[in-house]
Amino acid sequence: MPSKAVDYAHSQHDRFLEELFALLRVPSISTLPEHAGDVRHAAEILVAELKRIGMENVRLIQTAGHPLVYADWLHADEKPTCLCYGHYDVQPVEPVEEWHTPPFEPTIRDGNVYARGAVDDKGQMYMHVKALESLLQAHGRLPLNIRVILEGEEEVGGEAIARFVAEHPEELTADFALISDTEMFAPELPTLCVGLRGMIYTEIEARGAKTDLHSGMYGGAAPNPFVALAQIIAQLKDAGGRILIPGFYDKVVKPSSDELRAWESLPFDEEQYRKSEVGSSVLTGEAGYGVLERTWARPTLDVHGMPGGFIGAGAKTVIPAKAVAKISMRLVPDMTPKETFALYKQYVESLRPKGIELDVRLIHSGDPIVIGTNNPYVKAAQNALHQVWGKDTVFIRSGGSIPIVGDFERNLHIPSVMMGFGLPDDNLHAPNEKFHIANFYRGIDSLIVFLEEVGK
């Protein structure tokens, strides 16, 4: 892999990391309205940097929500066009007391940078920017055409980019997308993700009395919205982890026997996974399926929080007028968000307890995706990874959702190459999120070599 661009990147490691730290210090939490200014600030940093490295037509695109960042370089006639996608928004940091160092003060420990967004997705998104800088510095041009589109709403459903892709597909014309927002199956094991679960994120609001009531005075007469939600949730999933919504599994396509066999050969130690990643006494989920199949290729249902009532320390004897359950489902091919939400809503409403009114809301959704391993860009990625890591690529799926992959497929009719460098213990969406610094550097190398391969 002799590459002037890789040499350049190696010469700039310290600066690249410092720049990433500056970006990580911006608390761009997209779901919290009070951080809207920070989300915009992160976008502005990226606009300035894309201009500085020599990208063209760099601009902030206003949306109804957080802004998009666009840039391009389109002077490689006859060469393919790559659409580089990433997101600069991050998840909330609760429970903040469980962070060993503050989430927005990036800190290096044991070769990792700890910060909210370190791996999801600021660190991985910034690898793209630095790969493009290295190519432009080394050659004065890029080996293929590039468009960059970055969003600030990935963690809240990506509504603005979805609308932009649907309404302005001509501004994002490309042959394939490149996304680094996934993880490697294991350290040192180059990985391409060729399948994603979809999702629907919902809220059930249960309303009983017209106002909060004292449980001494009214206990025994007033409906309790939390009890109602508990009764509903208990009927969504059985003790064995099987989801009880009628018709829920009807469209589920089982992975091919080739794919299942390949997964069985992956270096996966279930007991190690249970102990070091999950840390629970046993793993849960549907009987009869392995962990990889359960988390990659089976639909699931989780409850994320139940706002309402009294949640402070101590005792308040209130029967709350209302309570909410935040519930999401992960979907697999060929389930669709629309059909699944309809089945769910109908079933939940059929479970409505006495005295309770229900409002079942869809907050956001994303399609499940499977991409073929024979795709030429996937092949080029496999080739590049072999050069940088010296090993065969493993093809995995991810249990998470990247709704934009569905948007690109539906509106731009292009596949996505999901080349990510996160590690399984990076604490995504949790306290003490981290990114392995060596992976940040080798990720940049991999992206450079991949883009050079495609441009050959």
Interactions with a copy of itself, residue window 14-33 (CB under 8 A) = 31-33
Q: Report yes or no: 127 and 443 within 8 Å, Cβ to Cβ.
A: yes
The residue count for the chain: 456
Q: Which of 13, 40, 242, 326 binds a copy of itself (CB under 8 A)?
A: 326
Write the interaction track for a copy of itself spanning residues 65-94; mark x where CB under 8 A is met and - where it is not: --------------------------xx-x
Q: How far is the CB of 330 from a copy of itself (least distance, A)?
A: 5
Residue 298 contacts a copy of itself per CB under 8 A: yes
Using CA atoms, how far apart are residues 78 and 260, in angstroms rounded to an integer?
A: 39
Q: How far is the CB of 128 from a copy of itself (least distance, A)?
A: 22
Using CA atoms, how far apart are residues 432 and 117, in angstroms rounded to an integer?
A: 10
Angle, helices 437-455 vs 376-389, to 10°: value is: 130
Nearer to a copy of itself, 90 or 142 (CB): 90
Strands, E, within 62-183: which ranges? 68-73, 81-87, 107-109, 112-114, 145-151, 176-179
Residue 281 contacts a copy of itself per CB under 8 A: yes
Residue 223 contacts a copy of itself per CB under 8 A: yes
Nearer to a copy of itself, 133 or 293 (CB): 293
Q: Report yes or no: 420 and 124 within 8 Å, Cβ to Cβ.
A: yes
Residue 217 contacts a copy of itself per CB under 8 A: yes
Q: Report which of 442, 199, 223 is spatially closest to residue 326, judged by C-alpha positions.
A: 199
Residue 100 contacts a copy of itself per CB under 8 A: no
Q: Report which of 92, 85, 97, 47 is spatially closest to residue 67, judged by C-alpha positions.
A: 47
239-268 residues in contact with a copy of itself (CB under 8 A) are 239, 241
Q: How far is the CB of 252 from a copy of itself (least distance, A)?
A: 13
Residue 416 contacts a copy of itself per CB under 8 A: no
Residue found by looking up tokens 């991409």 in the block: 371
Residue 269 contacts a copy of itself per CB under 8 A: no
Task: Please count the residues of this chain forming the interface with a copy of itself, following the rule CB under 8 A.
Answer: 102
Nearer to a copy of itself, 169 or 241 (CB): 241
Q: Identify the burial level of 111 via C-beta atoms within 10 angstroms of its C-beta, where 0-12 means exposed, 13-18 middle and 19 or more buried.
A: exposed
Q: Any residues with CB less than 8 A from the CB of 375 and at least 6 apart, and which?
A: 176, 415, 417
Residue 199 contacts a copy of itself per CB under 8 A: yes
Q: Cis omega (within 30 of 0) on the bond before 14?
A: no
Q: Which of 308, 337, 403, 443 binds a copy of itself (CB under 8 A)?
A: 308
